[in-house]
Amino acid sequence: MPTEPDPMPEKGTCFVVMGFGKKNDFETGRVLDLDKSYYNLIKPSVEAAGLKCIRADEIVHSGLIDVPMYEHLLKADVVVADLSTSNRNAIYELGVRHALRPYTTVIIAEEQMMKSAPLNHIVIRKYRHMEEDIGVSEAKRFTTELTAAIQEIMATEPTLRRDSPVYKFIERLTPPSIAAETGVARAPAAASVSTEMVGSGTPAHSELMLRVDDAQKKGDWVRARMLLEEIREMRGAAASERSADEQVENAEDPYILQRLALATYKSKYPTPEEALKAARDLLKLLEPQTTNDTETLGLWGSVHKRLWELTKESSCLDQAVRAYERGFYLRNDYYNGINYAYLLNERAAHPIGFAEAVADFVQARRVRKEVVSICNRWLESPEKRYWVLATLAEAQIGLEDEAMGQQRLEEAFAAAPEGWMKQTTQEQVTKLKALLASSPLKQLSAPE
C-alpha cells in the first residue's frame, strides 16, 4: 500500500529590518533607494539560504503594525537589519531584537554609512549602493556573502553564535521564553493577523506600492494619486488606534507624502494649478523651509517653479530658487544645481532692480561651472548617462560655449532611452537661450 509522502518541512523565517523607498542619507547628502537593496540584495540572499523573507511593509494586518512587528522581532529564525541612511526605526528595532534574542541577527549597511560609537563593537557587513540601483557585480558579490553568513549562523550551535551585545556583556541574562510568551501575547494580537488569514480585500502596503509604481510607469498619475491617498489613510487609521501614551508627534511618512505630492501635481486634477497647490499643501507637512531632506526640497522647488510659470507670482519664483539653492548646497548634485542656475536666469529676466539682475546672472554662471565639474565625475555611470549628458549640454550652453553644448546635446539625444526625455531637454534649452539673449550684462558699459 503506497504511503503518503512526508509533508514538506516548513521554511524558517527571516524578518528584515530597514527603511523602504528612497531615503536621504544626511551624513553623505545622497538619496538611496532602499527598495533596490531589499529586492536585489537581501531578499535573494535570504531565499537562497532557504528562509522565507518578510519585510514590515509585506505584512497584511488589521490594527496596529506594532504587534506583528514585535512578534517577528522575537520569533524570527533570523533578522537582517539594514542600517543604511542611519534609519532611526531600523536602529530601534535592531535594539529590540538584541534585547530579545542572543543570536541569529545579521547587520548590514551601505559602505558610506558612518559608524556611531554604540555601533563600533558590532560587525556590520557593507555593500555599495549607486543611489538609484545596485550594480550587477556588487549584487552578485554581496548576495553570495550574505547568503553564506545566514547559512553559517543557522548551522552553528546556538551557544556559539551569540551576536547580541546585550547577552555578550551581561552573561547571566536569560532571554524571554517563547513558549511562555505565546499564551500571553496572542490575546492583544487578535486584531493583527498573518498574511494567510486576511482576505484579499486588505492588501499589504508593499502590494499597494507596487500598484503605485505600475500606475506611474503607465503615466496614470490620477490612479497613482488615489492609491497613495489610500495608503496614507491606512497609516492614519493605524496611528489613530494608538493610546495617548503611544501617539507620536508626526505619524506621516515623509516618503509617502513625497510620492503623493509628486503624483498630485503630475495628475493635473482637477486643474493644473489646483493640483500644484494641493501638492504644495502636502509638502508643507514636511516643513520645507527648514528641512535638510533634499527630496522634499526638490519637490518644493519643482512645484513652485510650475506655479511661477502658471501664475507669474514672484513669491513662487523666489520659493523655487531658495529650494533648489538649499538642495544644491546640501547634496552637491547636478539636478538641483542645473535647476537653481536656470531659475536664477529666470529671475534675472524679471528683476526688482538692475543690480539684482546682474547678481543673479553672474551667480548662475558660477553654479553652472560647479555643475560641469559634478557631471564630469558621473559620465561613466550608465544608469544616469542621459541626464548627465543633457545637464552638461544645458550647463555649457548657459556658459555660452555653444559648440561644446551642442556636442553634448547630440550625445545625450543619441543615448536617450525614451522620446519624452529629448523633448523635455529641448524645451528647457530653448527657454534658456531666450533668457541668455536678454542678459543684463549687455547693459554694462564696455571697459575702456
State residue 195's pLDDT score. 41
State residue 189's pLDDT score. 39
| Better-predicted residue by pLDDT, 254 or 59 | 254
State residue 105's pLDDT score. 93
pLDDT tens digit sequence for 51-94: 999 998 888 655 556 778 889 999 999 999 999 988 888 999 99
Across residues 305-315, what is the average pLDDT? 95
What confidence category does residue 241 fall into, taking pLDDT thresholds of 50, 70 and 90?
low
Across residues 173-189, what is the average pLDDT? 55
Q: What SS3 string covers the chain? A: CCCCCCCCCCCEEEEEECCCCEEEECCCCEEEEHHHHHHHHHHHHHHHCCEEEEEHHHCCCCCCCHHHHHHHHHHCCEEEEECHHHCHHHHHHHHHHHHHCCECEEEEEECCCCCCHHHCCCCCEEECCCCCCCCHHHHHHHHHHHHHHHHHHHHCCHHHCECCHHHHHCCCCCCCCHHHHHHHHCCHHHHCCCHHHCCCCCCCHHHHHHHHHHHHHCCCHHHHHHHHHHHHHHHHHHHHCCCHHHCCCCCCCHHHHHHHHHHHHHHCCCCHHHHHHHHHHHHHCCCCCCCCCHHHHHHHHHHHHHHHHHHCCHHHHHHHHHHHHHHHHHHCCHHHHHHHHHHHHHHHCCCCCHHHHHHHHHHHHHHHHHHHHHHHHHCCCHHHHHHHHHHHHHHHHHCCCHHHHHHHHHHHHHHCCCHHHHHHHHHHHHHHHHHHHCCHHHHCCCCC
pLDDT tens digit sequence for 345-368: 999 998 788 999 999 999 999 999
Highest-scoring range by mean pLDDT, 61-75, 106-120, 420-434: 420-434
What confidence category does residue 242 fall into, taking pLDDT thresholds of 50, 70 and 90?
low
Lowest mean pLDDT among 114-128, 179-193, 418-432: 179-193
Query: Does residue 275 carry a pLDDT above 90?
Result: yes
Q: pTM to 2 decimals?
A: 0.74
State residue 115's pLDDT score. 63
